[in-house]
Chain A
Amino acid sequence: MEFNPCMKHQLIRKTVREFAESEIKPHVSTLDRESRFPWDIVEKMKPLNFFGLQVPHALGGAGLDTISYAVVIEELSRVSAAVGLCVTVHNSVGIFPILEFGTDKQIKRFVPPMARGDSIGAFCLTEANAGSDAGGVETHAVEVEDGFILNGTKIFVTNGGVCGTVLVFAVTEGEDRKSNTGVFVIEGDRPGFSVGEIEDLCGMRANPVSSLFFEDCWVPKTNLLGRLGQGIRIGLTALDTGRIGVAAQALGIAQAAFEDSVSYARERQQFNRPLSKFQTIQNYLAEMATAIDASRLLLYRAAAQKDSGRPFSAQASMAKLHCSATARDVTDKAVQIHGGYGYSKEYDVERYFRDAKVTQIYEGTSEVQRMVIANSILSQPR
């Protein structure tokens, strides 16, 4: 099995890294501290196709394969996990479901402005009573003559505060869960749609995560994605793709924490020698590097699998499970290696530490990932 990053992926990596380091890095601490969404950086990213990574050229996107997509998210997240989060959610659970399940008309209507970055995408599933248990969703859509009327509240919506196109998972009338779920595309200027307060979160603070309210929000029939009853299927497909993005995010965070730890260990001296001379620290660095490398292989394997057209759900879950755990472990070690300085906002590692944790929670908690993997194992023929 050949595994060699090809020249194209190298070039993409360098291109995104150069952009991230020049345009995003100088502002990262400020954005985190002020919980501010970087609109000016977004303006610079739009012409570079960051908001249409896997959208075909004809629709104004970059037409990238999934490995390239993962590289982009990894490199963005290495500098700013919050920006990486915005881009991955927009691309994976915002645009992708429309490309996959939308009619030609829907695709032509919704995708180009999103690919241009003029409308930022979001997908809302979670509610107060429905986290891991998607079955507890209460937001409902009532079918009327010419459309649907939505009512409900979604919470913890990534990009909530800035989104222009939202995919909403809702239930319609009827007892049978299997046939009464649907995903609706809501444009940000629809009457009845409003954004709640931005959440005050531990990490990824530059991303405006918020609640979204739907109060008698009417949408035409043409805003229903796919068919009624396909809601769960669309949701799960979206999440599979989303998981690759989140795994890439987590990997980027881990990579940043690791690089900072290596350079700190080389510089910082105690007992008359640099930390890098102590076996304990060397062991930490070795473990961090190995974990990151293993995570990286899982991630790119999942991406390659998706591109090959084969089922990739279990692989994406494994990647997300592993990468997020690596991010948590590596950032924890990174703070430890930095000692007291690691706990201070003077250094970036405490931000990586705060940012890392949520990768084990959103887009399916690590427990849910294990469920997915276990199901995949147990549903194999004996």
Chain B
Amino acid sequence: MTRYIIRRLLQAVPLLVIITALLFILTANLGDPLAAFGGERRRLQPADRARLERQLGLDRPLIEQYAIWLVGNDWMKVDLDGDSIADSYGTRRGVLRGDFGDSFQERRPAIEVIGERIWNTLLLMVASEIIVIILALLVGTFSALHQYSFWDHLITTLSFIGYSMPIFWLALMLIYLFGVNFQRWGLPSLPTVGMYDLSVGPTVGQIALHMLLPLTALSVVSLAAYSRYVRSQMLEVIHQDYIRTAYAKGLPERTVLRGHALKNAALPLVTIVGLDMPLLLGGTVVTEAIFGWPGMGRLFYKASNAGDIPVTMGILFIIAVLVVVFQLITDIVYTYFDPRIRYE
């Protein structure tokens, strides 16, 4: 097992190098990264612009910029004053040593900017994922046990609608109904923007209240797909011989379903969840934009619009690493749940 993990990690290295190199080429051309420096009121003088480009290393060939992003430049002399003579050591330490560079927009470490936002996104994602998994297991099992009944057809139709639902449409409807109209009708309305009331501060109650709508929007869309999946898995499992055996030896239905059927039906869900988790970070761009949630998706949107290379690349890098790590965790968890599988 240890050897398997090590081999997988080693295989991931070239993969990550390819991904980041491709993304770096794209990101480096997202627009004028220096636009953020002049501020809105004054434009950069050509001399200042040249100096900034030199300091940020933007005057270098792309391949060199990528290398510096990856391994830093504190081991080589760089030319800072523009006389074509390398004079002092660089200050960048490179992503591989945890230095993501400084955000162009905010002029502080990109990792700090991302770090502030990542927890907000994770809060939303993990909460939604937990709700979705529990509900999907319940709904999917119910649907499978009552196959072709009225409720099964209703659930199937609803999950198709949920699966096809553009998340922005659902989000706008939720805001319009619970935020705007409830207020109009004098009912207790839900907050629709931000994480907490500025007058109250970030208390647990406030955040929970502000999370309700974005959480609903996110959950409905994933719930549809997951519950369909659980249903089809469950249908396959409950027709197996060992389920009949369990019934035959007189076990109560509850025990059979929970102990024998659900455990096996839920297994493939582990893979889906493991592969979806990091991608869900991306699925929140639109949700976060609509609900004004200060998360990573919104940060990415803002940073990529402004040509803020360190922040944009930082977020993409974190996601790419998370994908690889989650794939590995999924495989390992799988062997725990299903002892028949062994990796060599």
A is bound by B: no
